[in-house]
Amino acid sequence: MKNKKYSKLIILGSGPAGYTAAIYAARSNLNPFLITGINKGGQLMNTNEIENWPGDFNKITGPELMNRMYLHALNFNIKIITDNIIKVDFKNKPFVLNGEKYTYIADAIIIATGASPRYLGLESEELFKGKGVSTCAVCDGFFYKGKEIAVVGGGNTAIEETLYLSNFVKKVHLIHRKSNFSAEKILVSRLMNKIQEKKVILHLNYTVKKIFGNVLGVNSILIEKIKLKEKKEKTLAVSGLFVAIGHVPNTNIFIDQLKIKNGYIQVSRETHGNYTQTSIPGIFAAGDVIDHVYRQAITSSSSGCMAALDSERYLNSIKL
Ligand code: FAD
Ligand code: NAP
C-alpha cells in the first residue's frame, strides 16, 4: 500500500501551464501540490533559445526559463513532488490519483500534462530509437558533431532543430512531406540562409520510408518522393535522424474518465468563466493538453492561470 497524500488542489505537470497554475493557486491560499511527471520542466527543456517569451529579449534557453518558473513556484512554498501519475479515479469524490510513489487525494485537480513528441511509426524507427533516432536536438545533437544528419518535419520544431544542428554538424538534410513550411517566417528565412551556405539540403515532398544501421547506430535512410506518379527513392548516408513531426497530447490515463476529442481533453470554453472545466466539475485542464491550435509557452501559461482561477471558484462553491 502506498502512502496517501491529501491536498485541496493538485496540479499535474511542471511545464508552463502547471507552474503558472500553481503560482496563481498559491496566491489564493489553496496550498496546492504540483506533481512534476517524468519530464520536469516540460517540453521547453528540449529547446535552446526562446525568443518569444515577453520581457526576455536577451535570448533565454528553455531550461533557464523553466528553472525560473520552478524557483518562482518554490518562492510561494508550493509543494513540488517528483512523481508520475499512472492511474486516476475521477468517478467518485474526492478524486484519487495513483502515482508511482504515492496515492493522492484531492478535491480539485488541474491537468497540465502537455504533449510528447510524435514518431513516424516505422518499424525501423523503433529499432534505432536512442541509437541514431532522436526527437531532441538539444539533448542528442552533440553526438553528431562533424557528421551528416537528417531532420524530418516542416513546423517550428523541425526548422529550429535544423538551424541549431547546422551550427556544428557537417550537413543537415531536411525532409518535409510538403513543398511549403508551417513554421514562422523568421525561422524559414534563417533556414534559406543556411541553404545558401550549403549547410542544409532540402528534400521537399519526401517522406522517410526506412532507417538502416547496425549495432553502432544509424548509417542511412531511404526517402521517397510523394505526389509523383512514378516512385522516386533516394538513400541518404546519415548517422542520425531527428524526428520533429509534432506532438501528441498526454491523455492516455484520462481516456475512460474524461471527454476527449482527437486525443485532447475537452474543456467547456465557456466565455463567461469556467473556461477550463473538463467534463467533470472539479477537474480542470490547461496548456497543450487542451490545445491543438496555438501550443505555445505563453498560451499554456495563460490557460494555466485560468484553470487556477476556475478551480478557486469551484473550491469556494463546494465549501469544504
Ligand atoms: P508541457 O511543457 O508539455 O509539460 C507537460 C508536463 O506534464 C511535464 O512536466 C510532464 O512531466 C508532465 N506530465 C505528463 N504526464 C504526466 C503524468 N502522467 N503525471 C504527472 N505529470 C505528467 N513555445 C514557445 O512559446 N516558444 C518557443 O520558443 C517554443 N519552443 C519549443 C521548442 C520545442 C523543441 C518544442 C517541442 C516546443 C516549443 N514550444 C515553444 C512549445 C511549448 O514548449 C509548449 O507549448 C509548452 O511547453 C506547453 O506547456 P504545457 O505546460 O502545456 O506542457
Ligand atoms: P507542428 O507545428 O504540428 O508541425 C508538425 C510538422 O510535421 C508539420 O510540418 C507536419 O506536416 C509534419 N508531419 C506531421 N506528421 C508527419 C508524418 N507522419 N510524417 C512526416 N511529417 C509529418 O509541430 P511542431 O513543429 O513540433 O510544433 C508544435 C507546437 O510548438 C507549435 O504550436 C509550434 O508553434 C510550437 N513551437 C514553437 C516554437 C517557437 O515559438 N519558436 C518552436 C517550436 C515549437 P504537415 O504540415 O504536412 O502536417
227 and 169 within one domain: yes
Q: What is the pTM of this model?
A: 0.94
Q: What is the DSSP string of 146-193?
A: TSEEEEE--SHHHHHHHHHHHTTSSEEEEEESSSS--S-HHHHHHHHH
Residue 27 grid coordinates: 496566491
Report residue 189: phi and psi, to 5°.
-70, -30
Nearest protein CA to atom 8 of ligand 1, as residue:
42
Could you give the number of structural domains in the chain?
2
Mean pLDDT of the 157-186 span = 97
pLDDT of 69 above 90: yes
Closest by alpha carbon to 147, among 236, 235, 214? 236
CA distance to 174, 198, 265, per residue, from 112 (Å): 32, 41, 10
- 133-165 pLDDT, tens digit per residue, is 999 998 899 999 999 999 999 999 999 999 999
- DSSP, res 129: B
Model confidence at 320, pLDDT cuts 50, 70, 90, reads: low
46 and 22 within one domain: yes
Q: Which of 243, 264, 286 is the last residue of a domain?
A: 243
65 and 154 within one domain: no
pLDDT of 11 above 90: yes
Q: Which of 243, 259, 274 is the last residue of a domain?
A: 243
CB 157 near ligand 1, within 6 Å: yes
Q: Are 4 and 105 spatial neighbours (Cβ–Cβ below 8 Å)?
A: yes
Give the per-residue pLDDT at 76: 97
Mean pLDDT of the 192-197 span = 97
User: What pairing do the DSSP bridges indicate for beta strands 33-35 and 4-12?
Assistant: parallel
CB 4 near ligand 2, within 6 Å: no
Domain containing 259 equals 4-117+247-318
21 and 113 within one domain: yes
- 256-314 pLDDT, tens digit per residue, is 999 999 999 999 998 888 999 999 999 999 999 999 999 999 999 999 999 999 999 99
95 and 179 within one domain: no
305 has catalytic annotation: no
- DSSP, res 273: S
Give the per-residue pLDDT at 242: 98
At 137 the three-state DSSP class reads: helix
Q: Using CA atoms of 64, 69, 71, 77 in order, give the dihedral in degrees to the nearest 10.
A: -170
Q: Are 98 and 106 spatial neighbours (Cβ–Cβ below 8 Å)?
A: no
pLDDT of 88 above 90: yes
CB 298 near ligand 1, within 6 Å: yes
236 and 132 within one domain: yes
Model confidence at 189, pLDDT cuts 50, 70, 90, reads: very high
139 and 109 within one domain: no
Ligand lying closest to the C-alpha of residue 10: 1
182 and 101 within one domain: no
208 and 129 within one domain: yes
User: What pairing do the DSSP bridges indicate for beta strands 85-89 and 95-99?
Assistant: antiparallel
Give the per-residue pLDDT at 293: 94
Domain with residue 137: its CATH number is 3.50.50.60
- DSSP, res 85: E
- 219-264 pLDDT, tens digit per residue, is 999 999 997 677 799 999 999 999 999 999 999 999 999 999 999 9
Q: What is the DSSP string of 18-75?
A: HHHHHHHHHHTT---EEE--SSTTGGGGG-S-B--STT--S-B-HHHHHHHHHHHHHH
In angstroms, the CA 15 to CA 168 distance is 29
Q: Which of 217, 243, 269 is the last residue of a domain?
A: 243
13 and 99 within one domain: yes
- 14-61 pLDDT, tens digit per residue, is 999 999 999 999 999 999 999 999 999 999 999 888 999 999 998 899
Closest by alpha carbon to 125, among 239, 243, 207, 206? 243
CB 178 near ligand 2, within 6 Å: yes
Mean pLDDT of the 83-104 span = 98
Report residue 91: phi and psi, to 5°.
-75, -25
288 and 235 within one domain: no
Give the per-residue pLDDT at 267: 98
262 and 215 within one domain: no
CA distance to 12, 101, 116, 151, 310, per residue, from 98 (Å): 12, 8, 21, 37, 24
> 114 C-alpha to center of ligand 1: Å?
5
Q: What is the number of the ligand 1 atom nearest to the C-alpha of 136?
A: 34
